[in-house]
Each structure stands twice: as structure tokens, then as C-alpha cells.
């Protein structure tokens, strides 16, 4: 069976064309080598798939004849992805929370006013410090 068809059958990709594009762009490797979509797969092959910033590693147990239901996928592949890959993904999620959330877009008028108010407060603090120093020098 072709590698792109296999990945579609075991539900790693939603459509076969997505699986084909992943093979063409070098996101699918067998035994560490990039593969073409037409490459045949056999039992005991180890496939590495780069998807959603995670390197999934699977071992083929058997080759299905057609697309499988989600419950039957475990009969045909063995997922040997290291847990560190998923932990890295969690760390990426936490680091992104520091920045403005996706979809929030540009600052609103209220955000802009809050920013302006903050800058004005800082400027007033500097002015009061300068005035205090000037009074200290006069005394």
C-alpha cells in the first residue's frame, strides 16, 4: 500500500491529498529518509510524521485494506511517539499565553486609552520627581 494512502487509512490525515502533500514537503520519513507519496509500506516499517509541531513515530503492525474506524486503528499501528514531544507542545502553549491572544486583533479604543493613561501617569511621576529635586536645591 502507498504511504499516503496508509496514513489516510489509519486516520493521521483527514484527506488523502493532505497526506500526499505532507509526503511531498518532507514531513513523512521512513527509517529517517524522506519518502515520496507512492512509496510502498510494509509491516515493521517505522514512520516519522511531522504534524502540528510534533514528530509522531509509528510502527506498522499490519496493512489495512481500506480506511479504518477510529477504534480499529490500534490493530494496525503501534504509536511509539516519545512523551517529551507532547510535553514540548504543552510548554509552547504556556509560552504563547504571555502574548496577546490569537484573534484579539488590534488594540481597542479602551486599550489605547489605558495605554495613554499609563504613559501620562509615568510622565507625571517624573515631573514630580524633578520638582522635588528643584525644591531641594533651592533649600
Q: What is the pLDDT of residue 95?
A: 63
pTM of the model: 0.63
pLDDT: is 59 or 135 the higher one? 59
What residues have CB less than 8 Å from 45, skipping those under 6 apart?
30, 31, 59, 60
What residues have CB less than 8 Å from 77, skipping those under 6 apart?
10, 58, 59, 60, 61
pLDDT digits (tens, 9 = 90+) for 87-96: 888 777 766 5
CA distance 79 to 68: 16
Q: What is the pLDDT of residue 21?
A: 92
Among 47, 40, 37, CA closest to 1: 40
Q: Please state whether beta strands 33-34 and 28-30 pair in parallel, antiparallel, or not at all (unpaired).
A: antiparallel
Q: How confident is the model at residue 3 (pLDDT cuts 50, 70, 90)?
A: very high
Amino acid at each position: 500500500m502507498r504511504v499516503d494512502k496508509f496514513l489516510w487509512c489509519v486516520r493521521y490525515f483527514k484527506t488523502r491529498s493532505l497526506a500526499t502533500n505532507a509526503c511531498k514537503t518532507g514531513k513523512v520519513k521512513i527509517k529517517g529518509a524522506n519518502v515520496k507519496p507512492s512509496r510502498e509500506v510494509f509491516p515493521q516499517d517505522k514512520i516519522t510524521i511531522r504534524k502540528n509541531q510534533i514528530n509522531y513515530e509509528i510502527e506498522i503492525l499490519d496493512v489495512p485494506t481500506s480506511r479504518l474506524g477510529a477504534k480499529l486503528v490500534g490493530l494496525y499501528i503501534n504509536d511509539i511517539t516519545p512523551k517529551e514531544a507532547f510535553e514540548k507542545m504543552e510548554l509552547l502553549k504556556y509560552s504563547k499565553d504571555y502574548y496577546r491572544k490569537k484573534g484579539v486583533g488590534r488594540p481597542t479604543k479602551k486599550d489605547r486609552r489605558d495605554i495613554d493613561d499609563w504613559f501620562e501617569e509615568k510622565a507625571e511621576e517624573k515631573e514630580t520627581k524633578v520638582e522635588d529635586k528643584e525644591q531641594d536645591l533651592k533649600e
